[in-house]
Chains A and B, each alone.
Chain A
């Protein structure tokens, strides 16, 4: 049997809440970058939100982008340093609310960056407000009676927004089981490969728990993703090598 060692890119214990999915996603991204030999030439563009907490613990070059603008910052770097592996690491508020335009336009222009969008259906860092991905009926601090989809719109499905665009790679994964996490790693590897081969824009959305703001324990958080969230946001690969591959 082979060893399983913590990637060297993870230079310090992370600062996320107990049970947060970010810790798993951080590790998966670090594993992929190290296995592909890209750790020394990677530049990350960091969102505002819980993702900010990565800056000191994930030991790659980072640029702290203003809220929502990580995709634009990543484009600035990749356009001048195309040899670097450039990725964004963003939550759903950062990439799909305030940053919707920048996120979409990087895809519309088929920019050669990789966007990692963490979907936990809530604004974590600021204490649990409604996010574009919050589910109808979901109680948050700004939808205390449950999200009213009539008033606030349906949950935003970024994969659906992007799958019509001529981009390189598009997938949605989850961290709600070991099997899902292993699949997620493959998706992230495919995304980064797409970038390094000049194959255009790649995006991996990740369904992740926020036990703190969902006010759930680990068991109910995982079950929420498996039984409810996945129905609204199906996992799988949607675009690969520039071609639609979903049914």
Chain B
């Protein structure tokens, strides 16, 4: 397959189109505005619809309408804009509709700043919107993975009739990398649940399915338990014999890969567990690791330890879990190795 040099945002946008996405309604915000800009000319080329909405509030509700009508629909945002989507996401999940959401993370609460961060981990994995729902959260670590995971996000959204999410960040979105793009997939919007007028049949109500399902509590718990059981994805690097295992996703996982390589060349046995789904968190990955592991180091580009909690839960606290908090700064791999070494010293 031939490869093309593309910016992460552009690659994700092109891959969404090739996955059959035919509706985008959203609003500009750095660092994801290129997704809008790309789709503004690309979607009309494939008879799709692009709307720059007056706000993210409006955009997410347009996505709700297009998804209810059976079309593959998505929006993307960041920071404060992504917060505005939460009510709409809750409605879409409640109505059991497919749609894809992309958060290209920027740093900080409030207005924050425009560079990369991993501060939205809790918002992504703990709900964000109100009520009993969850979303599959995919974390790409490269432009190519953005391409691969957006197609998966659309497929899984349809499979489970639930919104899914790509949690990316400014650096993955802005970097230029060679990508191999898949073939164009045309999606059939005429599912039997899609609204398009009664067409001689019964009228359809797109609203919270809780109003119409008996023993809804059991039903909805089963739905998300099934996802949690079947959709865990991860990558492991040299975890079978590692003394200390780094846990990192997205951009920080790339630095950690370099840290593992550099450490191993110095005789320090580091390993890396890279979650590709953040929800469900890949607890199954922890069965493959060195049973004698001495410590875990969660490497996160945030100011507060977030994924650390999930690492602690997943490893059953069999070994101490610490966090390398990058905050506003992407760390050097040497800093990670240094921290790992000091943790290992304390363990002796």
Contact = CB atoms under 8 A, between A and B. Distances in A.
Asked if A and B touch directly (CB within 8 angstroms), the answer is yes
Nearest to B68: A63
Interface string A189-201: 0000000000000
A45 B69 CA distance: 12
A111 to B, nearest CB: 9
B51 interface: yes
A77 B69 CA distance: 6
A101 B65 contact: no
A102 B58 contact: yes
Contacts of B195: 43, 61-63, 77
A60 B64 contact: no
Interface string A56-84: 10011111111001001111110111001
A41 B195 CA distance: 9
B61 A65 contact: yes
A46 to B, nearest CB: 8
A55 interface: yes
A155 to B, nearest CB: 24
Interface in A80-113: 80-81, 84-85, 101-102, 105
B206 interface: yes
B196 A101 contact: no
A66 B88 CA distance: 7
B66 A56 contact: no
B81 to A, nearest CB: 15
Interface stretch (B154-162, B197-205, B276-284, B316-324): B197-205
Interface residues of B, number: 39
A81 B203 CA distance: 17
Contact of B22 (A11, A39, A80): A80
A40 B200 CA distance: 6
Nearest to B23: A80
B107 interface: no
B296 interface: no
Contacts of B196: 41, 43, 61, 81, 84
B54 interface: yes
B197 A41 contact: yes
A42 interface: yes
B63 interface: yes
Nearest to A64: B207
A12 B58 CA distance: 32
B177 to A, nearest CB: 32
B275 interface: no
A63 B92 CA distance: 11
B57 A77 contact: no
B65 A74 contact: yes
B161 to A, nearest CB: 15
Nearest to B71: A80
Contact of A80 (B49, B53, B198): B49
B23 A69 contact: no
B197 A40 contact: yes
B231 interface: no
Contacts of A74: 65
B199 A76 contact: no
Given A76-B25, A76-B69, A80-B71, A65 B205 contact: no
A63 B64 contact: yes
A75 B88 contact: no
Interface string B192-218: 000111111001111110000000000
Contacts of B204: 61-62
B66 A80 contact: yes
Contact of B65 (A41, A63, A105): A63
B178 interface: no
Given A41-B196, A77-B69, A101-B55, A64 B62 contact: no
Interface string A94-136: 0000000110010000000000000000000000000000000
A60 to B, nearest CB: 6
A63 B208 CA distance: 10
B65 A60 contact: no
Contacts of A11: 203
Interface of B: 22-23, 25, 49, 51, 53-55, 57-59, 61-69, 71, 73, 87-88, 91, 95, 189, 195-200, 203-208
The 9 closest A-B pairs by CB, nearest first: A76-B65, A41-B197, A64-B207, A72-B61, A76-B62, A69-B61, A73-B65, A76-B66, A63-B206
28 contacts: A39-B198, A40-B198, A40-B199, A41-B196, A55-B207, A59-B198, A64-B205, A65-B65, A66-B61, A66-B87, A66-B88, A69-B57, A69-B64, A72-B25, A72-B61, A72-B62, A76-B23, A76-B62, A76-B67, A76-B73, A80-B66, A80-B189, A84-B196, A101-B54, A102-B57, A102-B58, A105-B53, A105-B54
Given A64-B207, A76-B66, 4 more contacts: A42-B198, A43-B197, A61-B203, A79-B62
Interface of A: 11, 39-43, 45, 55-56, 59-66, 69, 72-77, 79-81, 84-85, 101-102, 105
